[in-house]
Amino acid sequence: MEYGLLVMGAPYASAAPHSAFRFAKALIDTGHRVAGIFFYQEGVHNASQLMTPPQDELNMRDAWIALHHEHGVALEVCIAAALRRGIMSETEAKRHGQTHFNLQAPFELTGLGQLLALQQRCDRVITFA
């Protein structure tokens, strides 16, 4: 089956990202496809490039990026939720007169319409909050 995941918890604050990541791995290991992960609400913090946990802890952002590179999983971040919480791409930073940015490809800022499209495209969308 084709799955989409909706992640609404921040790393190191909520178990949601870890659970979602392990679920994605389990899906792939059992022959399912993960079309995309949509990060919404506090989940947008998963995309922060400045996330720097101690070396003996999993770097959640790097884990998502590896999932993207190894299995072609799209990493979509709600733009409105991200900007509200200080997560922005270089383009958005310029547009809003900010000096810095902290989101880079393969994470992508996108609209809520993409979440609806993901749900329509996939057999299942599972929420982790």
Partner 1 sequence: MSHENERLVIIRHAPYSSNALREGLDVALVAAAFGQTVSLLFLGQGVLALLKEQKTGAPGQKATLPTIDMLEMYDIDQLLVPQSALDALHLQVDQLVEGATVVADEGLPELLHRHSHVMNF
| Interaction of residue 124 with partner 1, rule CB under 8 A | no
Give the HSE-up count for residue 49: Cα atoms under 13 Å, Cβ half-sphere.
13
Considering the candidates 78, 81, 115, 122, report the single residue annotated as catalytic: 78
In sequence order, which residues have a C-beta less than 8 Å from that of residue 121 and are 6 or more positions away? 2, 4, 35
Report CA-CA distances (Å) from 29 to 16, 108, 114.
20, 25, 26
Q: Which residue, 107, 125, 44, 35, is CA-closest to 71?
A: 35
Window 17-56: contact mask with partner 1 (x via CB under 8 A): -----------------------xx---------------
Residue 122: active-site member:
no
Near partner 1 in 84-123, by CB under 8 A: 84, 111-113, 115-116, 119-120
Question: Is the Cβ of residue 19 or residue 41 nearer to partner 1 in the bound state?
Answer: 41
80 sits near partner 1 (criterion: CB under 8 A): yes
- Residue holding tokens 């590896």? 66
Summarize as ranges the residues that interact with partner 1 (CB under 8 A).
Answer: 6, 8, 40-41, 80-81, 84, 111-113, 115-116, 119-120, 125, 127, 129
